Amino acid sequence: MFTNNLITQVLLCFILGLMGFLNSLSLAQHDRERNAFRYLAEDKIDQAYHELKNGKKHTDPAEKNFISILCQLHEGRIDKTLGIAQQAVRDGLPFERLLSEPREWLAPLREYPAFIKWKKEVSPSPLLHGPMLGRVTDTGASFWFRTDGAQEVAVEISGHSGRESIRTRKENRFVGVIELDGLLPGTYFAYQVFVNGEEIKLPGVDFGFRTFPQADEGDKFTLAFGGCAGFVPEYEKTWDLIAGHEPRATLMLGDNVYIDDPKNAQLTGNYCYSRRHSRPEWRKLVAGSSMHAIYDDHDFGTDDCIPGPYFNKPSWKGSVFENFKRNWNNPRMGGGEESPGCWHSFTLGKVQIIMLDCRHYRDLKGKTMLGPVQKKWLKKTLIASDAAFKLIASSVPFSAGVKPGSQDPWDGYPIEREEIFTFIEKEKIEGVVLIAADRHRIDLRKTLRPKGYDLYEFVSGRLTNRHVHPVVQTDGLIWGYNKTCGFSLLRFNTRLKDPVLLMEAFDLSGEKIFSYEIKASTLSFNE
């Protein structure tokens, strides 16, 4: 009896130790500062300090100092925070971070007399984040922003009468969206942003955009897309590189920020979004490119999460989703209150982009990644589209064998994948191209379909992430790359009789490393 009990206790200790070790690996997968913040959210101050002091080498002293500020405030040492804050700003921390999230934690610092004096000297902009362009159509656009407290924000577009304004409010974390309509298709518009009547300008940022062409109008334009955007300051230049190509729209395909904390979705999520939204490189891109986002495991739940078929179970789904909606400027969010999600579709001239939600309703037992409502919507959208190219954007790849032994990509849902592919063939839906992210490398693959046309899938690499995955050789692999962070572009020319899609990949230096051309005629059913 004694021996059995002893063995049981030893095994239990081993299992618990192993679980702790695996959890530490999960935490350490990305950045130490985020991990420390998660510990603070759980009131584990000692573990937060441990992450800062004993973790891997920090590449961003500014962010380390920001977390140190939060640790000091957590212990009530307000007098020590001002010096740390000033050093963080000298190290490159945008001053706006001290005025943003987590607002409640930072309140004692903001109310500290010496900080108030310093703030007057710095005179930061009351526009903390944004403007983020979104919901661009042939006749309209919207503008997202976050302000320092309740403010009156207005947008004025050149050649468009009057200003549209809105007041930001505490209950929405001082986030607001202004929508404008009545614009001319395919036209460039400069715009101005005002806070309390004063014009806002950002260094190196031009406030301007081009409306989309009409649905039946040919055009030449560029789309950018990618995923796996962990916060690594030295890689944030990627946003500048993308902006240099003037993409009409930018598609963020999941793991856009690494939250990995669904039980503290609002708190940790606000921290993660705030540090990205505050980056000057990011603000330059989003001010002029229509932004569209879907989430994946790291910004919806945890690594490889399978949340199940219900819209409100587990209970944290609602909080995660609300935080996602607040921090993006999507034109539509899923199927309404009873079927929430991030799926949506929009058209850019003769190109239709279909953005899928591959997490909210993922159910391995039910053998579905999309859920019934979204799948019905996808089929209906494909049938109704007469676009020359139809991009289906998934957060995880469709192609077989891209993550050997894993059920996290579409390999885990082969029946539903085949259902979608068979539907395309049965309904003779032409022009379909697949794009995805998640794999921390850039891939171009082709899935052979003997009863239809071959399906190309362009998978973006890691935009700003340290973690790298090896290139996996499969029968359908055309090209793969994983040496550096990178981004991908889709260049369309729908003015031609046979419209063309040019796929391009770029490395962290901005050098083009790959290109591949597809004509619309090759994505058709030849009788």
pLDDT digits (tens, 9 = 90+) for 329-347: 999 889 988 899 999 999 9
Residue ranges of domains in the chain: 1-25, 31-122, 127-200, 220-522
Span 455-501, pLDDT tens digits: 999 999 899 998 899 999 999 999 999 999 999 999 999 999 999 99
> What's the confidence (pLDDT) of residue 56?
60
CA distance 493 to 518: 11
Pick the CATH number of 127-200 from 2.60.40.380, 3.30.110.60, 2.60.40.10, 3.40.640.10: 2.60.40.380
> What's the confidence (pLDDT) of residue 27?
44
- In which residue are the tokens 């229509």 written? 290
Strand segments, DSSP code E, in 175-271 are 175-180, 188-195, 198-200, 208-210, 220-226, 249-253
DSSP secondary structure string for all residues of 412-447? G-HHHHHHHHHHHHHTT---EEEEE--SSSEEEEEE
CA distance 235 to 486: 10
**Burial environment of residue 307 by CB neighbours within 10 A (0 to 12, 13 to 18, 19 or more):** buried
> What's the confidence (pLDDT) of residue 19?
35
CA distance 357 to 345: 11
> What's the confidence (pLDDT) of residue 442?
96
Span 3-34, pLDDT tens digits: 444 443 334 333 333 333 334 344 444 689 99
> What's the confidence (pLDDT) of residue 59?
67
Strand, coil or helix: 66? helix
Which residues in the chain land under pLDDT 70? 1-30, 55-59, 527
Residue 418: alpha-carbon gap to chain centroid: 27
CA distance 161 to 150: 26
Q: Tell me: domain 220-522, CATH 3.60.21.70, correct?
A: yes
CA distance 134 to 289: 8
Q: What backbone torsions phi and psi does residue 128 show, to the nearest 5 degrees? A: -75, -45
> What's the confidence (pLDDT) of residue 160?
82
